[in-house]
Structure 1
Amino acid sequence: MIEKYKKFLLVFVGLLFCASVIYTGGFIWANTLENGTDGFYFTKNFLLENTKDRPRIIFESGSNSHHSINSLMIEKEFKIFTLNLAENARYPLNAKLHRLAKNLTKDDIVILPLEYPYYYRNDDKMYNVNFSELVTYGKNYYNYLPINKKIFVLSKMNIKHSIKPFLNAYKYIIYKLFGGKFTFDMKANIRDIIASKERGDFNYTPWKQAGTNLADVDDNENLSCQGYIFQKERENPIEQIDRLIIIDYFKNNLEFIKKISNQTGAKFIFTYPALAGKNCYDFKNNKYEYFLKDIKEYVKNNGFLFIGNPFDSYFPNNMLNTYWHIDEKARDIRTKRFIEELKKTGLFNTNK
């Protein structure tokens, strides 16, 4: 009888081991080989990794900069390859910085028009992902994290919402192993991607062609502009806070930026994010105005440039689908203004 239990236990452990190997192997396959994404997520990351042979201007933030920078206008002005790396403010700044740390060179200039939550939000609380993200666009951040951070992210995985992606992943792995041929087609075309003028900016054309009434596309969750940009991701209502403060989490990230700059030689420039909507900056001598002043002062006191003013990037009547996203007309106006601010830094040879 005991022998039967031993045999069962050995078989069970063996099956568990095999399942673990299959899962781990499948995860590695999907997460490190296949690009696992359609469109700009992969392209942005691919360009970051494969254009280190030239000076670059790199924009990094959430989707705010994805919608509010015309990279080709900046590239044409300064004759420097310009990459709009920004994509999603839900991903922690620390994860974005780890990716930059592995890919910057001494000739790079990184511009950070960070959305305001990055200054007051505990980003560790944003690490709540599911499996489908880790093997698609989320892997562009996950792969660059140190091992302790990777373990932390996995510990925060949303299992409830990962069951279906787990099953889909196994189907995908079986297809790749037995039903399809893996190719590196995108990686063979770096010159074609660069020549296509793809720089990671938002493509407004499909919206126009679809005839979408942008005034009807509203993702602001019935919040005012101030409520959305200052309160949306806080646990405690800001009305109960006398003064907004820059959280230690951001201060630690700023120290990390110093380290990255010292190790790579890359330069970092801060500026204000773009906004569209009514009453976004209708405040005076209150917690919001003081907070914006505190941000600029703190960043500058730590040795970084903080250029421009909030109103250079504010367009009350040019909302795309949320306060953080401006339309194409405002984007180009904002970019022209920003070019003038960049010229004032003295970091660029404007006599080319």
Structure 2
Amino acid sequence: MRKFIVKTVIFFVVFGLLFFVGIMLPATPASKNNMIAYKTEKDSLLMHVATPRIVFVGGSNLVFGLDSEKVKSELGLNPINAALAINFGLVYMMDDVIPRLKEGDIVVLAPEYQHYFGKQAYGGNDLLRLLMDVQPSGFSVLRKEHIPNLIKGIPIYFQSKFIYSQYFYEKEKDVYGRHIFNEYGDSNFHWNLETRGFPEVHPIRGQFNYELINEIKAFDKVIEALGGSLFVTYPGCDMHSLETIKAQVGQVKKELEASGLQILGDPDRYAMESDMMFDQIYHLSKKGVDRRTNLLIEDLNQNKIFSQ
């Protein structure tokens, strides 16, 4: 029995030391060059781009689904695509952007549908990776609701330090790299690439998060206090996948329309055909980017604030 206890203690001590070393190792080349690492440049855009501005906040549906240059040409506003990834969580993305907003900013919020359910609005693996490898100052923005999701991501983060491929980065093959962004914060790297196959979305798990609607309303009040306006819109999404999550999408639409927030479009309007998709249900090809951008411009132009 004593030998068993000693071996058990030794195992946990060795494992604990290995785990600590793994967590504390520097960011791998793959992590340093991941699109997440571009957040520092996006923060710089938010700090330095002149007014009048339109700021896009959300996940990769905006990264891979917007032509900001066309927005600038059509609306006469300086665009900033501040979006990064769904696993940052919508609450963090809203809280983090607030200190960098300027007076009179127009903000377009485009959450992925998963954000509205369960605890997905509080982030995941990508948020942990950002905080550990790119921007530790982001810990100051966290709320207690983020902690369980970040704890769940620790094993994956730990394992990444011991994966061979993480140390041999091939930029030219990486459509999720730091190099994919243009001067507005859009990804245009994939615009000339062929469409790739992808699985349709699984049904969204979890109950509708009514508290998230209150969080968006609070975000709206902050922007209003700055003399700006918030518009909430829907992601460009593969229409076949939309059928799979039709019930949840319908609930999102119902709650948003009852919220009193300014809403752009509806889910069906932003449903994209298969030839408009790139490699995920929210990632659009150039054809899809053009359509989604044109729809957004049309919807924004219907608001009197853009005719001034």
Query: Scaled by the length of structure 2, what TM-score is found?
Result: 0.70
Q: CA deviation at 1:125?
A: 6.1
Structure 1: which 5+ residue stretches go unaligned? 1-25, 31-35, 167-195, 236-244
Check if 1:202 corresponds to 2:198.
no
Q: CA deviation digits over 1:251-277, x for unaligned, max 9? A: 342243144224433321011110124
Partner of 1:61: 58
Check if 1:335 corresponds to 2:293.
yes
Q: CA deviation digits over 1:14-54, x for unaligned, max 9? A: xxxxxxxxxxxx99x99xxxxx6566433222211222x42
Q: Structure 2 vs 1, CA of residues 38 and 204 (structure 1 numbering), >3 Å: closer, same or farther?
A: closer
For 2:214 and 2:161, locate their aligned partners in 1 and report how far apart those are by CA, in whole Å.
Answer: 34
Partner of 2:39: 41
For 2:136 and 2:73, locate their aligned partners in 1 and report how far apart those are by CA, in whole Å.
Answer: 28
Check if 1:218 corresponds to 2:197.
yes
Aligned AA (2:41): T
Aligned AA (2:270): S
Q: Structure 2 vs 1, CA of residues 115 and 127 (structure 1 numbering), >3 Å: closer, same or farther?
A: closer
For 1:297 and 1:141, locate their aligned partners in 2 and report how far apart those are by CA, in whole Å.
Answer: 36
Equivalent residues in 2 for 1:182-197, closer than 5 Å: none
Check if 1:158 corresponds to 2:158.
no
Q: Report the 3-state secondary structure (helix = DSSP H, G, I; strand = E; otherwise coil) of the residue aligned with 1:158.
A: helix
Structure 2: which 5+ residue stretches go unaligned? 1-23, 163-180
Partner of 1:293: 253
Partner of 1:273: 235
Partner of 1:82: 79
Please say if residues 253 and 267 of structure 2, whose CA atoms lie closer than 8 Å, have aligned partners that are also in contact. Answer: no
Q: CA deviation digits over 1:203-226, x for unaligned, max 9? A: 245x63xxx542xx3342xx4xxx
For 1:57 and 1:295, locate their aligned partners in 2 and report how far apart those are by CA, in whole Å.
Answer: 25
Q: CA deviation at 1:55?
A: 2.1
Q: Structure 2 vs 1, CA of residues 149 and 260 (structure 1 numbering), >3 Å: closer, same or farther?
A: farther
Q: Structure 2 vs 1, CA of residues 344 and 321 (structure 1 numbering), >3 Å: closer, same or farther?
A: same
Equivalent residues in 2 for 1:99-178, closer than 5 Å: 99-123=96-120, 126-128=123-125, 132-137=129-134, 139=135, 142-143=138-139, 145=141, 158=154, 161-162=157-158, 165=161
Check if 1:349 corresponds to 2:292.
no
For 2:145 and 2:300, locate their aligned partners in 1 and report how far apart those are by CA, in whole Å.
Answer: 35
Q: CA deviation digits over 1:265-306, x for unaligned, max 9? A: 3321011110124363589xx73464143133233x3xx210
For 1:37 and 1:48, locate their aligned partners in 2 and report how far apart those are by CA, in whole Å.
Answer: 21
Aligned AA (1:266): G
State how many pairs are aligned: 268
Please say if residues 312 and 334 of structure 1, whose CA atoms lie closer than 8 Å, have aligned partners that are also in contact. Answer: no
Query: Scaled by the length of structure 1, what TM-score is found?
Result: 0.63
Please say if residues 103 and 228 of structure 2, whose CA atoms lie closer than 8 Å, have aligned partners that are also in contact. Answer: yes
Task: Return the index of the structure with the highest Cα Rg.
Answer: 1
For 2:123 and 2:106, locate their aligned partners in 1 and report how far apart those are by CA, in whole Å.
Answer: 27
Q: CA deviation at 1:109?
A: 0.8
Please say if residues 80 and 184 of structure 2, whose CA atoms lie closer than 8 Å, have aligned partners that are also in contact. Answer: yes
Partner of 1:321: 279
Percent identity, please.
22
For 2:266 and 2:128, locate their aligned partners in 1 and report how far apart those are by CA, in whole Å.
Answer: 40
Check if 1:309 corresponds to 2:266.
yes
Aligned AA (1:203): N
> Once superposed, what is the RMSD of the aligned Cα atoms?
4.0
Q: Report the 3-state secondary structure (helix = DSSP H, G, I; strand = E; otherwise coil) of the residue aligned with 1:269.
A: strand
For 2:127 and 2:252, locate their aligned partners in 1 and report how far apart those are by CA, in whole Å.
Answer: 34
Q: Report the 3-state secondary structure (helix = DSSP H, G, I; strand = E; otherwise coil) of the residue aligned with 2:187.
A: coil
Q: Report the 3-state secondary structure (helix = DSSP H, G, I; strand = E; otherwise coil) of the residue aligned with 2:305.
A: coil
Q: Structure 2 vs 1, CA of residues 250 and 204 (structure 1 numbering), >3 Å: closer, same or farther?
A: same
Q: Structure 2 vs 1, CA of residues 200 and 144 (structure 1 numbering), >3 Å: closer, same or farther?
A: farther
Q: CA deviation at 1:320?
A: 0.6
Please say if residues 123 and 249 of structure 1, whose CA atoms lie closer than 8 Å, have aligned partners that are also in contact. Answer: no
Q: CA deviation at 1:319?
A: 1.4
Please say if residues 87 and 125 of structure 2, whose CA atoms lie closer than 8 Å, have aligned partners that are also in contact. Answer: no
Q: CA deviation at 1:142?
A: 2.0
